[in-house]
Amino acid sequence: MGDPTTDFVAMMTLEPHGPDTYVGHGPRYPWGGLYGGQIVAQALRAAAETVDPMYRVHSLHAYFIRRGDHSEPVRYEVDRVRNGRSFVTRTVTARQAVGAILSMSASFQIDESVLDNQTAKMPGDVPLHRDLAHESWTTMYDRATVPAGDTVGRARGWLKIFGDLGDDPVLHACALAYMSDDFPTDAAISLHPDRPRPEDEDQYPFIAFSLDHALWFHRPTRADHWHLTTMACHGLISSRGLTFGEVFTEGGIHVASVAQEVLLRRNRDA
């Protein structure tokens, strides 16, 4: 087993601590504390541990309650809310010494052989990841941002988990959840009139936190392949930015949708 502070598969390998209770570890991130995507991904993994593999996750809805502490493990307590014939529901509470840091509900469904109709379209003007500069603030995934130009309220970029995740659909769903917390903040910041300009990029003017996060899994996918995330901020009010977006494969298949509300405060107001 690898190091959970540098290897995604190791980070998703939770330790059982009693009935429907699991403990996870993760790295210290550049800004300190924990990354919201890690807590969501580990909570999803914990929920899936209590669900028959015939059910596939189709959605999750999470509230970030407190900032996580990277120096201590996270305890995930799963509540088996409902076991139905075609749907299964779980709630997960993530805790540290300070108390609850996340509350998440996840729903799982048996796949049904019915109509598959896609109306969402991948933008046609987006350069491929191989034609962009790659930058990443984590050892967990690669990242290639699509330049926004003069467009405000938008953030687009390519993401891919490092390494081979194998054929476990839960692991791929967790990886997608992990990465989905990245670009929403960029979209909200892009709409703010005090957004950083290229000439003063070293003077980051904001403190930003994810408030809540929703993710819908439309189709199975491989998170260790490149995916395009396109996010748009629909407005800023009371220090909150509301963002919506889609996730596409390189071939244009719509595999997921994302919604997040971001808390955005200027450093001088925080």
Active site residue 71: no
SS (H, E, C) the chain: CCCCCCCHHHHCCCEECCCCEEEECCCCCCCCCCCHHHHHHHHHHHHHCCCCCCEEEEEEEEEECCCCCCCCCEEEEEEEEEECCCEEEEEEEEEECCEEEEEEEEEEEECCCCCCCCCCCCCCCCCCHHHCCCCCCCCCEEEEEECCCCCCCEEEEEEEECCCCCCCHHHHHHHHHHHCCCHHHHHHHHHCCCCCCHHHCCCCCEEEEEEEEEEEECCCCCCCCCEEEEEEEEEEECCEEEEEEEEEECCCCEEEEEEEEEEEEECCCC
Q: Rounded to whole angstroms, how far apart are CA atoms 143 and 261? A: 22
Active site residue 96: no
Active site residue 181: yes
Options 96, 180, 190, 210, the catalytic residue: 210
Options 42, 105, 107, 260, the catalytic residue: 260
Q: Are the beta carbons of 64 and 101 closer than 8 angstroms?
A: yes
Q: Are the beta carbons of 58 and 45 closer than 8 angstroms?
A: no
Q: Rounded to whole angstroms, how far apart are CA atoms 94 and 100? A: 6
Options 105, 107, 181, 182, the catalytic residue: 181
Residues with catalytic annotation? 181, 210, 260
